[in-house]
Chains A and B, each alone.
Chain A
Amino acid sequence: MLTDQAGKGVHHDTPRPGHSAQNPLRTGGDLLQLVSPDGERISHPEFDIWVKDIGDEQLCSLYEDMTVIRRIDAEATALQRQGELALWPPLLGQEAAQIGSSRSLRDDDFVFPSYRESGVAYVRGAHLSEIARVWRGNASYGWDPLRINLATPQIIIGSQSLHATGYAMGVQLDGANTAVLAYFGDGATSEGDVNEAMVFAASYQAPVVFFCQNNHWAISEPVRVQSHVQLADRPTGFGIPSMRVDGNDVLAVMAATRVALDRARKGGGPTFIEAVTYRMGPHTTADDPTRYRDPIELEDWAAKDPILRLRKLLEAKGLLTEDVETRVKAKADAVAAELRSSCIDMPDPQPLDVFNHVYSTPNSWIERQKDHYSRYLNSFNQPVEEGAL
């Protein structure tokens, strides 16, 4: 059994107010799970059908993606420690939630991530240098959002849920059948933005999926002090149907995301998914979770590791051959090396570049500022006059 907010299975037996059993807008039971922590495939009458196309090859491919993004995460963390990145928000432990959800999307769907969705960016096709350069401080944006239908990482907590809802309302006006997905964390559900987004999404029945990765910690604030109900019970108050899934179970995440995307495309309105997972690393490389987090909690969650779980499933199915292992490792190594070299060899921005993307068209006021700044910079090259300092 997966654990609850406290990270301890024993607390889970106690019913809470607003529990799913009494909540008609919740589907999938208390916690949708298709693969147990021991790698055992659990059959589910309602949700099996949504992943029945996931064959052996697909499972191996999911395993590869999850392993690769874990490696990206480890390499980026090392690059930060070596002074090559200013900051990095690790995603360790959230691989299934990110891969399962992003692999369910179509290319024409539009995604609004927070800052931790580097795994999603990888799946959507962002180049590694594009993922790295914002965190290196070389650019104020990472990738062309319109090329891969992925908005730039949102640092402000939860704001992207409003952007997603607005975009989804636009999709409605266009009469398109694309879906929109917003990623945010448990802490964001306590923010006004997310709640406002849910009000609008419900009112307009916008084709948006709110994908909440409940990783249990809003920096140092545990989720249990933020919400006295399960997070999946918050959206139902707005009339938005929800699911609470095991976020470390890649198949359950896929099934739930596919249900939600399908509903959005068919005019069924918004859906909220609470993917129950765990941030196994620090909030960012500038954070020290040992100051506020019980190490036992981390151990509990390590036993439910999303990649380990998929490995066990693959082993049980006899799919984890030496060939697969070698291929996945080679891929992860190659991606890590490319991330490192593209990060280190990245051309440095020039001082005047800061003016380049303020407006998309020429702007006289910006030109004036650019001219002033350019002359200011040039003043350093002029010989210093006597007596002047």
Chain B
Amino acid sequence: MTATMIKEFRLPDLGEGLTESEILSWKVAVGDTVTLNQVIAEVETAKAVVELPSPFAGVVAELHEQPGTVVEVGKPIVSFEVDDAGSSNGGSAPVAGKGSAGTGSADGVSAGDDSSGDRAVVETSPKGAAAAAADGVGSPAKREPNLVGYGAVVEHSGRPTRRARGQAQEMKSPIPEAPAGAEPVASRQVEPETSERPRSTPPVRKLARDLGVDLELVPGTGPGGLITREDVQNFSGTPEPPAEAPGSAAQGERETRTPIKGVRKFTAAAMVQSAFTAPHVTEFLTVDVTATMELLARLKGNKAFEGYKLTPLTIAAKAVLVALRNNPSLNSRWDEANQEIVQFNYVNLGIAAATPRGLTVPNIKDANRLTLRELSTALTELTDTARTGKTSPSDLSGGTISITNIGVFGIDAGTPILNPGEAAIVALGAVRKAPWVVNDELAVRQVMSLSLSFDHRLVDGEQGSRFLADLGSLLADPAMVMTMI
């Protein structure tokens, strides 16, 4: 038998109660012959990246969504051409059956009618079902429960219509109206059909956005009306930009998609939470640290420090700890849940570390109690552990203030984002030789910039400034420690 029919595969709920998923990639193309359960796509939900196996054996007739698109559960993502006498309905409806969906579901209670293409949920009123059938896609407002095995239900906002008990009399309108049931359908039809946006690929959409081109107006010349890069460029009148800088990406691959996960995902969540929870203020101070560098040189030659790894970070960390003594509010925490400010009487000093797995901020517990030598050892251990990716979760939690040593990348200053839950973070810039005014004369000195971000809920400008000034004076003249402890 040569007769074929088109069957749609609608995006199912791949987790427990998920409403949407992102198509990461298609593993098949239009025209490909696929077997039952052959992997056809890779899809990412809020919970997992999963492979979608084909529910049919047949030929891929259409891919409805582009990679990178977030698709609502229940929307068709791929159509197959299958033998008419082929396998039983794999949870999706023949497209031909769509038009009759409204009648099939008109009996709202008899949801067992599985010949209906739309297989409406029990709560669906005739109105809702008809509306869903009318626009084929519906305009999802609120997710309705989906009975498993019905295939994915097309989401729509059809609400059960109930006769209001008792109030019906008072509410009766004197003005004749159109039947209430017809009204939502009509209004729905004038709504723009968001699903019918012009077909293009993400890079082309980006190009259109960059060029200020409205894709709705661009005629597509690609297969199936697909809008190509050339279409957009022709429309806007701009020629093809010169080839990208060599080595930026593999030939032919203009962008690389990496799933957001692991440390990157965690970092992103922490940074967003911090940036949008704590009002950040950042202050800068550039300091002549020549004295500190001389101190370092002296300590390195000191027998007592033999075998210890001393760097500007070691001295700066110690200076931060000393400066905190007189400015304890920088070492505190905003406890939103309890509406309390927690003042720490200890310092767990976090050090931002770039590791193979991404950014981590392990901390040195009770760093305020450590001598310079102990601190040096702790810093060495911490960075070594972080670099091998073996930092334990306990080392990563419980920090009270952090240092990020951006100077190792040759950077002078920045606006660091607070490690969530902490009140302050200090960024240490690179130590550079620079012209500096000493005793009203220009001299070549070793200079470093300090950037301090603090949570303005906890720390006022005065306290933040005092802390930064103290830190600066300690690095400018380590002997100042005599005045602070």
Contact = CB atoms under 8 A, between A and B. Distances in A.
Interface of A: 74-75, 78, 80-87, 136-138, 282, 285-288, 290-291, 341, 343-351, 377-382, 384-389
Nearest to A75: B37
Contacts of B181: 384
B371 interface: no
Given A347-B112, A380-B160, A389-B161, A86 B37 contact: no
Contacts of B270: none
A53 B163 CA distance: 71
Interface centre among A344, A350, A382 (most CB of B within 10 A): A344
17 contacts: A83-B148, A136-B148, A136-B149, A138-B149, A285-B14, A286-B15, A287-B48, A343-B149, A344-B91, A344-B149, A348-B112, A380-B125, A381-B107, A384-B181, A386-B180, A387-B168, A387-B173
A344 B87 CA distance: 10
Interface in B160-174: 160-164, 167-168, 171-173
A291 B262 contact: yes
Contacts of B49: 288, 290
Contact of B180 (A344, A351, A384): A384
Nearest to B44: A288
Interface string B188-220: 000000000000000000000000000000000
Contacts of A287: 47-48
Given A81-B51, A287-B47, A380 B114 contact: no
Interface residues of B, number: 52
Contacts of B407: none
Contacts of A344: 88-91, 149
B125 A348 contact: no
A286 B47 contact: yes
Closest 3 CB pairs of A and B: A83-B12, A288-B48, A86-B148
A381 to B, nearest CB: 6
A179 B86 CA distance: 47
Contacts of A78: 37, 53
Contact of B148 (A85, A345, A381, A388): A85
A351 to B, nearest CB: 5
B150 interface: yes
Interface centre among B9, B13, B89 (most CB of A within 10 A): B13
Contacts of B162: 379-380, 388
A381 B108 contact: yes
A115 to B, nearest CB: 13
Contact of A84 (B48, B90, B163, B177): B90
A75 B55 CA distance: 11
Contact of A83 (B114, B126, B151, B261): B151
Interface centre among A137, A345, A349, A384 (most CB of B within 10 A): A384
Contact of B48 (A83, A282, A384): A282
Contacts of A378: 109
Given A348-B112, A381-B109, A137 B52 contact: no
Given A81-B52, A386-B173, A380 B108 contact: yes
A388 B53 contact: no
Given A138-B149, A378-B109, A380-B109, A82 B91 contact: yes
B391 to A, nearest CB: 16
A287 B16 CA distance: 10
Interface centre among A379, A385, A387, A389 (most CB of B within 10 A): A387
B50 interface: yes
A379 to B, nearest CB: 6
A386 B85 CA distance: 48
A379 B161 CA distance: 9
B285 interface: no
B9 to A, nearest CB: 7
A145 B34 CA distance: 40
Given A80-B14, A348-B147, A388-B163, 18 more contacts: A78-B37, A82-B9, A82-B55, A136-B148, A282-B48, A288-B47, A290-B49, A291-B262, A347-B112, A348-B111, A377-B108, A377-B122, A380-B162, A382-B163, A384-B179, A386-B180, A387-B171, A388-B168
B88 A341 contact: yes
B365 interface: no
Interface string B137-154: 000000000011111100
Contact of B53 (A81, A138, A384): A81
B180 to A, nearest CB: 5
A287 to B, nearest CB: 7
Contacts of B177: 386
A224 to B, nearest CB: 14
Interface string B238-252: 000000000000000
B362 to A, nearest CB: 20
Contacts of A347: 112
Interface in B369-415: none
B168 A346 contact: no
Nearest to A133: B149
A11 to B, nearest CB: 15
